[in-house]
Structure 1
Amino acid sequence: MRPRTGRDVTRPPRRRRRPGLALAALVVGLPVVASGCGASDDDSGSEPTAAESWAADVCSTVGAWTTTITDARTTLSTPRDLSVDEIESTFAEVRSATSTLVDELGDLGAPDTEAGDEAQKRIESLSDQMHEQADIVQDASGDPPQGMSELLTRVSTVSGAVAQMIADAQSAIADLRALDGAQELEDAFAGTTSCQDLKG
């Protein structure tokens, strides 16, 4: 696990992911992940390989985050229908879900495969990208907005950060599937249920 950087995003208390949140339309990039740990589609009943287990953990973690984050994005799409408290609560959900994602990805370490180090570096890069966008969300929170115009500006800023995080996550999964010399990982991502469900 890579060490934490000095930069610290103020985060609300870590919460567990909320199952069952509705997923927005396919345009957000990553569809909702199916429930379960994402076992291999192999019907033989054999134990998953190290690559399959790692891929399942990555995809189920990203998928659960996607469910929460796209639900928040849908909520923020109609800001005039929301109270200030509802908007701030949605901002907090984005920060909390992203904090959980970064923590859980950090706990995965490198997969025991030929391209394991490269895979871990790509996960670390994704975590850095998530931190950057979480900073933006944090900056948009805090003091009460001075009027509707400022509130709508904040919502637009956070919505943009959410869209960028979704794109970053989608790109990371695609990169992990296509790492050079990573046939074992490529096969794992292709044959693992939770990863198949992440395909756009």
Structure 2
Amino acid sequence: MATASICVFCGSRAGVDPAYEQAATALGQAIADENWRLVYGAGDVGLMGAVARATQAAHGDTFGVIPQHLVDWEVGKTDLTRYIVTENMHERKKVMFMNCDAVVVLPGGAGSLDEFFEVLTWRQIGLHDKPIVLLNVNGYWDPLIGLIDHVVDQGFADASIKDFMFVTSTVEEAVETFKARL
């Protein structure tokens, strides 16, 4: 039985930098090595597929959640320890978040940004205190970090919002961040 569950938000594409997929693979391996459960979007493509396959290859526990309309598009990975199909994206995010102890955000697109900002907002308004890690592979999230600084500088959020997320540049740093907080 897994000791903690780590929700991974990430792209359904691999991106242009091979380091993104390498980080996803290393993260999946690390989740299994730490005896944590992977909670993710149940896709078998892009970074989602890479993190899940690596977790499975290391005999880790996997929990995938996918909305019905994405089963074909994201190629639903049905060979997971647990595979859930939801009605819609909102329900998917809710189920994923309710079944995790921490969140890590790998490189990704609009969906990953949506997921990140939702859990960050929930943290900001006191709905949870789960650690949120931005895995800033090769500086991928630098523009996002700059945007958050801009939001604070322009008075739309307190500087404390930055205390609700941890920015790491390696999988090892992300793992250490979780170990210190789980």
TM-score of the two chains, using structure 2 as the length reference: 0.26
Relative contact order, higher structure (CA 8 A, sep 6+): 1
| Structure with higher helix content | 1
| Structure with higher strand content | 2
Bigger Rg, which one = 1
TM-score of the two chains, using structure 1 as the length reference: 0.24
